[in-house]
Amino acid sequence: MCLPLPWPLHHRFQAMIPICHSPAQSYPRILEKLDFQICFHPDLLVDNFLHILPPPPTLSSLTFSRPTRRILSPQDHQIFLASDTYNLLLSFIFSLTESVQDKKISDIRSEELSPIVKAVLKILDEVEGCVRSCPPEDQGGSRFGNPAFRVFLDKIAQESGKWGSWLGINDEGAREEAGTYFKQAFGNRTRIDYGSGHELNFVVWLYVLHTCRMFKIRC
């Protein structure tokens, strides 16, 4: 399910989408810290649920599939909020949040980053290159989304297969599932918009990589 975290986004999208920025430069800031040890606060309780991220399951126990839209009504939304998936995603988000507390950007040493984090950062550099190659079209002051945004998303879709190969995911189903979330992480081509739902797709992409035991998140 292409699930819909607010993030500061880069100004280039602002000219392409109404009231929007680009995720291409802000996403790396959390990625660069994924190898930090995570220390959980004792009262990470939300709705009486302790959001401590469990270790990923064994890969042989998992079945991957291409995500499809499943939250189509208020009732679907309530089912999702009561699901194990929702709790896992919250735990993952809390884990990332906890991992960067009291950490400075200057603490990061590129030589200490794991190969997978370097690969993801390289992918985001490529995404930023796509942004630069799609300057906004002159719309004569129109407030609606700029058509150049569709060109950008087409580039993302075209290159995502190549970028995905850099991650070293061997399972074809896992590659397809992760790739779908990645392509949904940068906006909607039809509506020419970008919002928190797309940002969460990026988080879910990271979670799929975590589930595939790509990241070393130490608890």
For residue 60, being part of any structural domain is answered with no
pTM: 0.75
Query: 8 versus 77: which is more confidently predicted?
Result: 77
DSSP state of 52: -
Look-up: residue for tokens 């030589």? 111
Average pLDDT rounded to a whole number, residues 71-98 = 91
Q: Is the pLDDT of residue 181 over 80?
A: yes
> What are the tens digits of pLDDT across the range 17-63?
333 344 444 455 545 544 433 333 444 444 444 567 777 878 778 88
In a domain, 164, yes or no: yes
* Number of separate domains in the chain: 1
Q: What is the pLDDT of residue 20?
A: 35
Confirm whether 5 is domain-assigned: no
Residue 198 belongs to a domain: yes
Question: Are 116 and 209 in contact, with CB atoms under 8 Å apart?
Answer: yes
Q: Does some domain include residue 10?
A: no
DSSP states of 103-127 as a string? --GGG--GGGS-HHHHHHHHHHHHH
- The position carrying tokens 């990026």 is 202
First to last CA, the chain: 28
Residue 2 lies in a domain: no
What tokens appear for 208 in the block?
A: 């799929």
Domain that holds residue 113: 24-52+66-211
Answer yes or no: are the C-beta atoms of 38 and 99 closer than 8 Å. Answer: yes
- Helix or strand holding residue 46 (H, E): strand 45-46
Which of the four pLDDT bands, split at 50, 70 and 90, describes residue 104? confident
Q: Classify residue 33: in a domain, yes or no.
A: yes
Is 57 part of a structural domain of the chain?
no
Q: Are 216 and 35 in contact (CB under 8 A)?
A: yes
DSSP state of 45: E
Cβ within 8 Å of residue 61, ≥6 positions away: none
